[in-house]
Amino acid sequence: MESMKRLSIVLALLLVVGCQEPPNVSGTTPEGLGKIPGSDRKTGHKSHYHLLVMLQMASFEVPLGAASASEQIWSYLDEESVDIERGVSLGRNGFRVGVGRKEDFPDLGRMLKQMTGQRYRESTATILTGRPVQIELKKMQTRQTVFTIYEDGTVTGMDYPAGGNLLTITCTLNEDDPSVIRITAVPQIRSAARKPRVVDNGGVLMIANRPTVYSFHPLTFQVSIPSGDFLVIGPNSASRRKWSPGRAFLLREKEGIPFETVQVLTPEVYAVPARIIQTPEL
């Protein structure tokens, strides 16, 4: 019953993204995922499926220092899931990233709820594999200055226009073991102002108004995470540096009181028979 309920949610969400044809995974029936049907008994061949990722997102705002100056949260997480050199680069710029097991989330969730003392924000998105999704961490920011520290220790500063501070992620799957999700993430600033640009719309070039997107490439990171486990992105002590990226993306003030943001992402893989998803006629 529970699996049918989850499948119904996936199908309902597909109606929203139905205009985008998901990738076709031919002849693949992943093992070990109870949500995925088995082989076709009549022919003995495995059915064709579309593999989708349902991403649950929760955002916790905690008092300054509750996440960045405490090891309580991070004791539940594997921070070595991120390449060590990339982890050092993230740390210098005020970010901290770790992967947690789904059985530990109830305890961690309770701890974060106690720290914030208020209801956290949560949402769900269905992601087509390989397609980028933008998570808005901070909306409607005024002009901001950010200094990024590179792996070789050099520092570059830049003034960025008013806009939104994002975390853009892409989920990809290994067809041999689609129970493990590869997440690639990069912080970005998207300008509020739009400019005319030439874009490729299905092979047809056209002019459209688009924002300018600035990517913080030194902060790009990748993790491999089993379906149902969770990824935590939060600040460390370096985020308190005035011009640090960690401050720009994960710290905010409410009526003069400073808060930190802890972002929790939980991806799960679902398989939907290809025959259910119809390609729209043009």
Task: List pLDDT tens digits, range 171-211.
Answer: 998 777 888 999 999 999 999 998 888 777 777 788 888 88
Q: What percent of the chain has pLDDT over 70?
A: 79
- For residue 3, is pLDDT > 70? no
Q: What is the pLDDT of residue 122?
A: 83
Give the residue from 160, 180, 171 showing the smallest Cα distance to 249: 160
- For residue 1, is pLDDT > 90? no
- 211-253 pLDDT, tens digit per residue, is 899 999 999 999 999 999 999 999 999 999 989 999 999 999 8
Q: What percent of the chain has pLDDT over 90?
A: 44
Output the pTM of the full model: 0.78
